[in-house]
Every structure is written in C-alpha cells, then in structure tokens.
Chain A
Amino acid sequence: MAGRPGATDVQAKQGERVPAIAIREVSHSFAQPGHPRALVVDDVSLEIRRGESLAIVGPSGCGKTTLLNLVAGLERCQSGEILVDGALPALGSERMGYMLARDSLLPWRRAIANAELALEVQKAPKELRRAKATEMLAAVGLSGSEHKFPAQLSQGMRQRVALARVFAGEPEVLLLDEPFSALDAQTKILLQDAFLSLWERSEATVVLVTHDLAEAVALSDRVVLMTRSPGRIRSIHEVALPRPRLASSVQDNPLFHEVYDALWAELREEVTHA
C-alpha cells in the first residue's frame, strides 16, 4: 500500500500511458444459501485505454455484468484490484456514466428534465444544464419532444432520452450494461448510431457489456470474450474498423464479418460445451 501513491505519480507523469481502467487479478464470488460460494469472475486482468471503447461478451452468467458493477463501484472488490484513473472505483462519481437496458426515466419528468438529471444531481447551474440537455436531445434526434412525458414516447425515444441524460453529464468513463437489448432490431441500430455520433464527439472511455456480437463489433475498438462461468478472459479481438462508424452501414465492411465470425466460433464453443 505504502508504495502505491508514488508509483501512481510516476505513471501520471507518463500521461497517456495510465490506463483509464485497470483490472488486476480480480476474482469475485457470491454467497448462495445452502451452497458453497459461487465463483463468477475468475482472475481477470485487463487494461482499458483512455478514450477506448471496449466490449465484453460471453455466455449468460459469465460474470460480465458483475465485472461492470465492480468498475462502477456497485459491488466491492473482493480480491484483486480495480483502479479507475488510478483511484478505487467511486460510486456516484461525476466522471462516471452508467446506462442499463431499462431506460429508468422518471415518469413525472418531461424529456428535458430527465435529460438534465445527471447535471442536476451534480448541482450544475440551471441555465447551463437546460442548454446542455436541449443540445443532447437535439443530438439524439428528439428536438421538439423536449416537453413530452416518458409515457408519450416510444421505447426507442425513451432510450434516446436516457442516452441524452448520460452524455449530458459529460462522463469520462461510460459503463453500458446491455443498453439496447430491450429494443427491436431496427430501433436498436438507430440507437447504436445515435450512441456512436455522441460518443465519437466525446472523449469518454467506454465499457460495453452485451450478448449481441454484432453490437460489440460495431461499437467497440476491442472485444473481450469471456468463458462460461466462472468467467475468465478467453480472448481479446481488435476491431480495426475505421471511425467514424455507423452501425447501419458497418456491415458493408468485410472486416466486420471477419471479427464477428471469429468471435462466434469461440463463443459457440463456450455456449454449447455444457
């Protein structure tokens, strides 16, 4: 412990080389009544570069959401170490954004007030957060719907508001847990495009947990494939597709299919092995 602050200082001087997120030898287990503890994450080490978009895929129950929750600070690290920007994960940090499949919009707030929520919690001045939320709603294609209640919006539009909310907070680290999995196939691609256009204008580091391989390839720079439970890293695939990308046209590039097929070949082994 004593040596760490000094080491962090040295790394800080190296600037870009400090990983945005460092996961070192992390294992995690859950208590289950009447049974021995269930190991869900088994000795995972991973460095996520600043500004990188990294997807984590794997069979159901492979611990990918647990890993994300550990980075978010929603779960305490049991063994190993996770550093976000050189510090322990802090739940509720302004620099962290978090998004789920469920939009969790507040039904009593209009779209604009929902988009403002992150900034409001951060106590940003009213004019600033209103301006930022208006800009973000426009960027996700919701100009003119600012004053609608969530119940007046379709599923896809609601998730757009959730996107606007998370980006309005200008997070440095963005954690996404199956963000578009509740949407139909076409709406999902539209939302992925909205996400890409927002993210490519920001400098956020993204960790995306998904079971959708096409989504993982379309949105990220690297895809981490995990084994079935207990989750270990099986392989890491680079996605050298050019940016800016559009999820709606990325499939035109043969490279997309190359990475997709390689991922599927490995994932199929994991899911059919049982």
Chain B
Amino acid sequence: MFTRLRIAFLHLFFLCSVASAAEPLHITLVLSDDTPLYQSFADSLSQNLNAQAKIVVMQAEAFTAAEPKADLIVTVGIKAANQVAPQSNTPLLATLVTLDQHAKLSRQRPKGASLSAIFLNQPFDRQLALLRAALPDSARIGLLYSAETRSNADELKNKAAQQGVDLIARLSLSGESLHDDLEALLDRSDVLLAIPDSNIYNSNTLRNILLQSYRHDVPLVGYSQSLVRAGALCAVYSTPEQIAAQASAMALQFAKNKSLPAPQHPKLFSIEVNADVARSMGITLPSAELLRIKIDKMQGGMP
C-alpha cells in the first residue's frame, strides 16, 4: 500500500516535470563565432538544460530583432552581446563579457528590457586566495596595467588596500616602455599578477614577459589555462562549460521567477598549475586539488 502510494507520488512528480517540459523555456543562444570555444558553450548549455528548454542556436551576424519570440536570449561573447542588446526587448543574459562591457550594454538596452551577465573575470578575492594558497611567502604582488585596464587596476588596488595586501601597481603606457616598466616592477615584486590586457599580455609580448619574469625569478600568476601552459605558475579560470552550467542555472531561475538574477562573477572555476615551472623556480607548490581546497576554505567553504 505504502509502496503504491510512493509510486503514485513519484508519478505525480514526474508528471509535474513533464508538465513543465510541455511548456519549455524558449532560449535563443547567440554565439559570437562558431569556433570550439562557443560550440562547447552551446553543447554544454543544451546538455544542462536538456528537456527543460528549447534552444535555438545562431551566429551573431544572423541575429535580427524579428527572430522568433524567445523567453530569454543568452549571448556568448561580446560580439553577440553587442548585436543583441540594442535590438531586442527580450530578457538578455550576456555571458563572457567584462564589467565595463556590461555597463556599456546596459546603456544600449531598450527601455525596460532586462539584462544580466556572467562576467569573464574571476572575483579578486578568489585570485588573492590563490596567491595566498600557492605563494604564502610572496608578500609583494606586482601588477602591470595599461590605460585600458586602469579601472580594473584601481579596483584591485582598493581591494588590496582593504585586505592589507602589498600590491605594487605600475602603469605602462606604451609597447616601447613595456620592457623597462616590467623590469622596474619585477625588481620590487615577489610575484607578478597578470590581468587580461591585450596592451600588455598578447601573443606578441607574452614570450618576452614570461622570459623576463623567469630571469628575475619572479613567478607570474595568470588568468587563463593557456597562460599557465605557456609558462605562468598557476591560474584560476573558468572553462566555457563551467560558464554554461552557471548560465543554465540562471536560465532555470529565470524560468521560475520570471526575472533574471543579478549579474555575477563565474561561480564554478578550475585551477591550473605548471609543476615544471614551479619546480624550476624552486617553488613548493601544492597540487591543483589541494589549492582548490585551500581556496574554498579561505572563501568560507564556497564551492
């Protein structure tokens, strides 16, 4: 009897979910490009939402306001966001955008059209936690920034000051002075914290920056997996799949509450370490798994 009841209950629950699947959330997913980065985001999003959403995938160029009506538009990358934001009233979740880009997008939105975002950059607290977990003895954190990233640097400086961290920030105004600016900074730093800034870190300059910091015996803590493979000591970053998972959760919240959650930093993240670089520089670096545990602890058990 009890068993039967339970089966009935389960059946009811199943029906409920079928009922919600009968009216799935309609999502238009707009990609900035069709490269593997965006494709893996798209694949991941559809897998996560499975039957709970109907997803139409399109390229940024193909998007027009006359597109079939969707409940939610999710964009991946800045190009797609720029294409969609001014054109459509549909609630928009822009992923893989910076804080600055988000601010610009919100100004472009039609009146009353809602916008949320998942930012590209990791929260500074998390980066700081990584530095502390990986290099507890490195007191002086060097930061090189350009005019383009002045606002990020200012934010970092404020955060550092609040947390009593010795952050030595140096502005580099031109490609010509980059080498000398870095030289001066490396002389004063125990670790170099890299922030995304194509004026400073690009495929053109990276080689010399990594060699220069290696020569100074100053490790570079990066922001991407490929930077670690290139020669940075470690980095905290989020994969497109992790961002897609977060976007799925936000979409489900939207389906439930009919309003988008507030813009947020990546919640799921990975740690990459370059054990060869650590070893060569004589740094005893915990494994990526152990670093992860330490960071979670420092951030109050947050996953």
Q: Do A and B come from one complex?
A: no
